[in-house]
């Protein structure tokens, strides 16, 4: 699907990028109780991994460490430009 059929214009930036192809981005959504973003990552290979999570449209990135088979949820506080670890119900941990 082309955003610019004439070829003019800039392509849209990706919502999120991960430096490790083995780590899965399983959710990128608005938080339930705020305008912040929720990012959920999963390590499916059974090996500890470190990946860089980049949000190009926001100009933000962070390094994330995951244990084998870990699900990690981060809240992206857009106003303060911080990444905060939260549980699956989006509560601070």
Tell me, yes or no, whether 53 lies in a domain: yes
Q: Per-residue pLDDT tens for 4-14?
A: 667 777 777 78
Tell me, yes or no, whether 61 lies in a domain: yes
The pTM assigned to this predicted structure is 0.86
Which is more confidently placed, 21 or 9? 21
Give the single-character DSSP code of 92: B
CB of 81 closer than 8 Å to CB of 57 = no
Tell me, yes or no, whether 36 lies in a domain: yes
- Provide the domain count of the chain: 1
Domain that holds residue 63: 17-86
Q: Per-residue pLDDT tens for 27-50?
A: 999 999 999 999 999 999 999 999
- Phi, psi dihedral angles at 57 (to 5 degrees): -65, -25
Q: Per-residue pLDDT tens for 53-75?
A: 999 999 999 999 999 999 999 99
């Amino acid at each position: 699907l082309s955003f610019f059929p004439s070829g003019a214009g800039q392509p849209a930036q990706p919502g999120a990028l991960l430096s490790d192809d083995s780590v899965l981005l399983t959710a990128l959504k608005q938080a339930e109780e705020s305008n912040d973003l929720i990012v959920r990552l999963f390590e499916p290979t059974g090996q500890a991994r470190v990946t860089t999570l980049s949000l190009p449209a926001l100009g933000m990135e962070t390094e994330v460490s995951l244990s084998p088979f870990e699900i990690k949820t981060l809240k992206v506080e857009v106003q303060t430009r911080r990444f905060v670890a939260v549980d699956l119900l989006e509560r601070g941990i």
